[in-house]
Structure 1
């Protein structure tokens, strides 16, 4: 990673951080079984909101909650956009092409456009990813 990339990542993280201040609301929010759009068995996407971005590379940021039933898995997907994700409930295993890691409530990770990710809820409770989707300018 060069200096310019490090600075851009830092600015992006700082700009997106306030969006996660509302993550506690998602933690207490109980979604109905049919809320949002199903993307895989036991996995639904619920739109939370959108905002314009002050980050030059992105025109807007969309927030969504990915709601996983216990044991549910989203298939490996190529990311359409850069994303910053935080876990607001449950526990997950994330698989990328070159690594696999476990996350719990409060953990944050990123997904890059064009890269493949797979997520599995490994907890016995409904798991939620709050995802900030960075939409290019």
Structure 2
């Protein structure tokens, strides 16, 4: 390996490091049965954090984890805001007004303000939705 290759390899590794750090921070923690606020039997919302948005239509973003016990169901709800949802644990069936679909860990979906959504944890483990709630400007 010559000096130029070593420098290129070092720069590539340095550039990739933040990506691995961000991935590690995105993982959800283990929650206890009383963490957060109960919104349905076996379903709790835990606030993770908030931040400002650089997207012109939104002033801020709130991140929450919705923690579902195995088999727990969140009934149909009208969305107050646009949202981006990531399944960080478990497996779910999601029902919307016009469709139903299944998701597993690592899958993502969106919810639009004014639309309905309901979710059921179909796995045998605690399931978690990490949700980015987009707060309008």
Q: What does residue 89 of structure 2 align with?
A: 89
- Max Rg structure: 2
Query: 1:114: how far off?
Result: 0.1
Q: Mind listing any 5+ residue stretches in structure 1 that lack a counterpart?
A: 1-19
**Equivalence for 2:117:** 117
Structure 2: where are the runs of 5+ without partners? 1-21
Residue 54 of structure 1: CA displacement? 0.3
Q: CA RMSD in A?
A: 1.0
**Residue 17 of structure 1 corresponds to which residue in structure 2?**
none
Paired position in structure 1 for 2:48: 48
Q: Give secondary structure in 1 for the equivalent of 2:77.
A: strand
TM-score by length of 2: 0.82
Question: Please, what TM-score do these two structures have when normalized by structure 1?
Answer: 0.82
1:25-73 Cα distance to aligned partner (Å, 9 max, x none): x0xx110110000000000000000000000000000000000000000
Show the 5 A alignment for 1:12-27: 21=23, 22-24=25-27, 26=28
